[in-house]
Structure 1
Amino acid sequence: MLAIAAMHENDGWVDLQQMRYVVAVAETRNFTRAAERCFVVQSSLSHRIANLERELGVRLFARSSRRVELTGAGEAFVARAREALAAADLAVADAAAANGVVRGRLSVGVIVTAAAVDVPELLQRYRARHPEVRVMLRSGRSDELAAGIRNGDVDIAFLGLPEGELPSGVESVVLDRDEHVLVAAAGHRLAGADRVTLEDIAGETFVDFVAGTPARAQSDRAFAAAGLARDVAYEAGVVELITRLIARGLGIALLPSAFIRPLAAADPGLALVPVVDGPRRAEHLAWSRFDPSPATRAMLDVLGVRPGA
């Protein structure tokens, strides 16, 4: 934990520890959980925040017996506190990296259908080289993870986008390209087909990701380009639910082949059929274009990616 003082409370200054306490309460909405996260007793955390509020002359939190909410002043403070803490962490990490040691935190975003990289195996290799880096995994949609990189919440992410589309506002490289396959129940009328076209399946009931997401856009755009309409009766945010609905015969789906093939091989209730004119996607590795941290640069090195090359 950093002991560097950004400001001293007795002189009207605020230190980094106080900032960490405030951010922890803001994120957990609970003083007890915030204290547990910061490895400090609750009374000490509460006392330090109360002292800070007196020094600043504003209330950062609106408290009741059941909930804790940020005030307007608290929201403004937390936004700047996060920036200060990130800068302090990066300063420490850079100093360590200059001495050949990579430390700090690495936030890794992963889409649920990632297949281009075996993420657990990658993290195993990364940890073997850099055991002092704390890795945090974050699952989400490609657009959410790209936004997280742009605002500093995510350091590096594995994304999936329609072929030809690039993640905006970040650095990225294409890791792999893939095509979607039809996923149907084993007893479906098309389960034994050699191949199908979008026109063959347009009249079926579909299960898909939530409308407006990059994962959904891949199929929506393919049908729109073919001048075809379809009925998406079920929307889900996780693949496991999509495949369970399909296995029950409630609909069919188009999913990336590299991701779904291993799952289908272990599930006799699912059948896969190639789609001649189906969607295609590219999997991207993305990271910040603005001075990536030593931990991020170390991950790029493990992946064999040379920024700017």
Structure 2
Amino acid sequence: MRYVVAVAETGGFTRAAERCHVVQSALSHQVARLEKELGARLFERTSRRVRLTAAGEAFLPAARQALEAAERARAEVAAASGQIRGRLTIGAIPTVAAVDLPAVLRDFRARYPHVRISLRAGASERLVEQVRDGALDAAFLGVPPGFRLQGVRDRELAHGRHVAVVAPDHPLADREEVDLGTLADELFVDFADGSAARAQSDAAFAAAGLRREVAFEVSGVELMARMVRNGLGIALLPGLFAPELHGLRAVPLTNGPVRVERLIWSRLAPSPAAAAFLTLLGMDTDPVTA
């Protein structure tokens, strides 16, 4: 099953064998044996590509669940003997600032060196889905006040206003503060329309009865900062995160949007690794029973 998942995720037997640290002939032989046992082909093989058959599409989710269950069982046995093992998968928005996430993960790795840590960046809405579906153990979000969270547990970590982020030579760079009305005629660099990160700024302008032009939509804060630095527009970003943007000016906003940073995790009993991570952050790991 592990070999099938690797082939499906890498798109080929060669890359799957490299990931699984086995020779390709051994991997191919084991997949063929499994196909014979199941009585169905899992992959269509051509000289150019490998893709899942309908049977393979049906098999893959169950295979992943079985592998996850086996790994969880091993981790639970290790925890019973006093060892924390297994996998910890964390999600985070690119602009998380309430915690020093690299430092937290460093401390966690030092305490639990046998846990394999994965970090995935993404938008808050998608991270909520992944925690709810069990793909992530926990996630750090940045959402507007009142953002509805369903099917997960959560804790507020911080909240604060956005600031206007401008290039050092921008006319507003030396202002002590500005309001949204002052910014309404500027061109903006922002996240994708419909995302929680974008919605905070859109809602603030709408509440003030103002319209603005978002000329550039980006998916990452690094590109956003580079575009602002080159004078292509200005941005609204959380004030807590602004010190990370070297070479740019952060101007306080008197009526800017408010962002709340939240940590979310599953309502079910966490794995030993996830429980250790949440405990490190001071969270209550007891599952919700009602």
Q: Which TM-score bucket, shorter chain as reference?
A: over 0.9
Deviation at 1:23, TM superposition (A): 0.7
Say which is worse superposed, 141-150 or 97-106, in terms of deviation: 141-150
Moved more, 114-123 or 158-167: 158-167
- Residue identity in the other structure for 1:303: L
The aligned residue for residue 241 of structure 1 is 223
The CA distance in 2 between the partners of 1:100 and 1:177, in whole Å, is 37
What is the CA distance between 1:304 and its match in structure 2?
1.2
Moved over 3 A (4+): none
Per the alignment, residue 36 of structure 1 pairs with 18
Q: State the AA in 2 paired with 1:175.
A: L
Distance 1:168 1:210 in 2: 23
1:291 partner amino acid = A
CA distance in 1 between partners of 2:146 and 2:283 (Å)? 20
Paired AA for residue 287 in structure 1: W
- Residues 243-289 of structure 1 deviation map (CA, whole Å, 9 limit, x = unaligned): 111111111110011111232xx31xx22111111011111111111
The aligned counterpart of 1:96 is: 78
1:37-81 CA-partner distances (Å, limit 9, x unpaired): 112111111001111111211111111111111111101101111
The yes-or-no answer on 1:112 pairing with 2:94 is yes
1:161-217 CA distance string (max 9 Å, x none): 112214332111111112100011222222222211111111211110111111111
Q: Which amino acid aligns with 2:119?
A: L
Measure, in 2, the Cα distance between the counterparts of 1:308 and 1:179. 32
Q: Which amino acid aligns with 2:196?
A: P
Between the aligned partners of 1:151 and 1:41, the Cα distance in structure 2 is 34
Aligned length: 287
Q: Secondary structure at the match of 1:108?
A: strand
Q: For the residues of structure 1 that align with 2:208 and 2:105, how far apart are their CA atoms?
A: 41
Separation of aligned partners in 2, 1:188 and 1:173 = 38
The 2-side partners of 1:166 and 1:128 are apart by 35
CA distance in 2, matches of 1:122, 1:51: 44
Residue matched to 1:14:
none
SS at 2:166 equivalent: strand
- In structure 2, relative to structure 1, the CA distance for the partners of 1:34 and 1:113 (3 Å cut) is same
> What is the TM-score when the length of structure 2 is the normalising length?
0.95
Q: How many angstroms does 1:83 deviate by?
A: 1.0
**2:255 is matched with which residue?**
277
Identity %: 56
Q: Which residue of 2 aligns with 1:60?
A: 42
CA distance in 1 between partners of 2:52 and 2:101 (Å): 36
1:167 aligns with 2:145: no
In structure 1, the residue matched to 2:32 is 50
Superposition pairs for residues 1-309 of structure 1, below 5 Å? 19-263=1-245, 266-267=246-247, 270-307=248-285
| TM-score normalised to structure 1 length | 0.90
Distance in 2 between the 1:37 and 1:223 partners? 48
RMSD: 1.4
TM-superposed deviation, 1:102? 0.7
Any gaps of 5 or more consecutive residues in structure 1? 1-18
- CA distance, structure 2, for counterparts of residue 169 and residue 212 of structure 1: 21
Task: Select between 285-294 and 295-304 the one with higher mean Cα deviation.
Answer: 285-294
Deviations 1:90-134 (A, max 9, x none): 111111111111100111112110111111111121112111101
